[in-house]
């Protein structure tokens, strides 16, 4: 039995829009490069066992997995076994839990598929061999994760990951950043990321975004390398607003924000001389990226606005680990 823990990531430069390709090697192939911060406190813990007979047993968050989730897990595991040229198990026991609220606006698919990839390799090769193989084949492992969910390919290491084409690689920046999530809504996402990616393709703003995203990435990379938090923050916010505007202008229009999202963002934008900056995932919750602990200021801001919201205070993290 293999036990593994993996963390999700928050994108600074977003993956929004993927290729429509029937080539299995190009599944979840992003239209643009993306840059992310791997978290540490938010974790998915997955247990996996290959069985020689019997039937699959799969539980997610303590409940028997849905048919759709079973299919996804089976498919992902099968693809890795075939890519490794090793036999697909007759049956599996799979159990996975998150320590963060699913509706916290922290992408659970990234940590879920990173954990499943590590767990599958652990079952196939044995933990010790898997650790060695992963260390020697980081890009390949990132590619395996991508097959499950695009953003998962960035959860293979950290803190900073750059995903370009098939896989993501570690970046070295001198800053230690944290992510404080203002959980404004716990409601389930109205539009899945999958449908969001699809709708983005019809957005009249997508072409312009794609033409400019490399330049924004280069500027953000420079800002992170030179420890220029202010320039980084401005680029971070422009990027988040742009992704959501692309989504909004798609057909169908995808709106992830709530009234509280709008109010919080306006109030933050009005604050002069900030040293913390916002970004958003595909949801209404606001992620605040900063170097220092800004939870006090954020609580004061929420209270001033009369908004009741929990904070999820996270820091930077790294690669999944076997337990």
Taking the least distance from each CB to ligand 2P0, the nearer of 289 and 301 is 289
Least Cβ distance, residue 163 to ligand 2P0 (angstroms): 8
Least Cβ distance, residue 240 to ligand 2P0 (angstroms): 9
Taking the least distance from each CB to ligand 2P0, the nearer of 235 and 301 is 235
State which of residues 282, 289, 294, 309 lies at the interface with ligand 2P0 (CB under 6 A). Answer: 282
Least Cβ distance, residue 16 to ligand 2P0 (angstroms): 6
Site map 4..33 versus ligand 2P0, x via CB under 6 A: -------x--xxx-----------x-----
Strands of the sheet containing 321-322, edge to edge, are: 63-64, 57-60, 91-98, 44-51, 2-6, 321-322
Q: Residue 42 and residue 261: Cα distance in Å, rounded?
A: 22
Least Cβ distance, residue 285 to ligand 2P0 (angstroms): 12
Beta strands in the chain (DSSP E): 2-6, 9-13, 34-38, 44-51, 57-60, 63-64, 91-98, 160-164, 167-171, 178-183, 276-280, 286-290, 310-315, 321-322
- Helix and strand numbers, DSSP H then E, in the chain: 9, 14
Taking the least distance from each CB to ligand 2P0, the nearer of 109 and 203 is 109
183-242: contacts with ligand 2P0 (CB under 6 A)? 193-194, 197
Say whether residue 108 binds ligand 2P0 (CB under 6 A).
Answer: no
Tell which residue, 67, 66, 151, 164, has the closest CA to residue 113: 151
Residues 6+ apart with CB under 8 A from 19: 26, 29, 30, 31
Say whether residue 72 binds ligand 2P0 (CB under 6 A).
Answer: no
Residue nearest ligand 2P0, Cβ-based: 150
Residues 6+ apart with CB under 8 A from 294: 180, 275, 276, 288
Tell which residue, 286, 279, 288, 284, has the closest CA to residue 259: 284
Size of the site for ligand 2P0 (CB under 6 A): 16
| Token digits of residue 276 | 């913390």
Taking the least distance from each CB to ligand 2P0, the nearer of 89 and 148 is 148
Least Cβ distance, residue 300 to ligand 2P0 (angstroms): 28
124-153: contacts with ligand 2P0 (CB under 6 A)? 149-151
Residues that bind ligand 2P0 (CB under 6 A): 11, 14-16, 28, 34, 107, 109, 149-151, 193-194, 197, 281-282
């Amino acid at each position: 039995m293999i036990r593994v823990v993996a963390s999700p990531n928050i994108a600074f430069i977003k993956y929004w829009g993927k290729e429509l390709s029937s080539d299995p090697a190009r599944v979840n192939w992003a239209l643009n490069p993306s840059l992310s911060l791997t978290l540490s406190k938010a974790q998915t813990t997955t247990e996996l066992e290959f069985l020689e007979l019997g039937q699959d047993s799969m539980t997610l968050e303590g409940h028997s997995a849905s048919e759709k989730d079973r299919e996804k897990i089976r498919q992902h595991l099968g693809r890795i076994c075939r890519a490794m040229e090793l036999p697909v198990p007759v049956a599996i026991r799979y159990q996975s839990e998150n320590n963060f609220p699913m509706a916290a606006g922290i992408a659970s698919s990234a940590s879920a598929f990173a954990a499943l990839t590590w767990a599958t390799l652990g079952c196939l090769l044995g933990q010790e061999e898997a650790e060695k193989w992963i260390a020697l084949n980081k890009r390949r492992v990132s590619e395996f994760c991508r097959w499950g969910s695009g953003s998962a390919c960035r959860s293979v290491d950290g803190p900073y990951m750059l995903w370009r084409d098939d896989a993501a690689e570690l970046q070295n920046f001198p800053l230690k950043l944290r992510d404080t999530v203002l959980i404004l809504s716990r409601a389930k996402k109205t539009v899945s990321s999958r449908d969001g990616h699809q709708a983005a393709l019809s957005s009249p703003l997508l072409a312009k975004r794609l033409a400019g995203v490399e330049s924004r990435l280069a500027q953000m990379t420079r800002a992170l390398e030179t420890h220029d938090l202010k320039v980084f923050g401005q680029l971070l916010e422009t990027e988040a607003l742009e992704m959501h505007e692309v989504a909004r202008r798609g057909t169908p229009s995808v709106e992830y924000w709530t009234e509280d999202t709008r109010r919080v963002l306006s109030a933050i934008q009005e604050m002069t001389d900030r040293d913390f900056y916002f970004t958003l995932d595909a949801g209404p919750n606001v992620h605040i990226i900063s170097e220092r602990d800004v939870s006090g200021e954020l609580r004061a801001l929420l209270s001033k606005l009369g908004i009741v919201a929990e904070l999820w205070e996270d820091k930077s993290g790294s690669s999944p680990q076997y337990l």
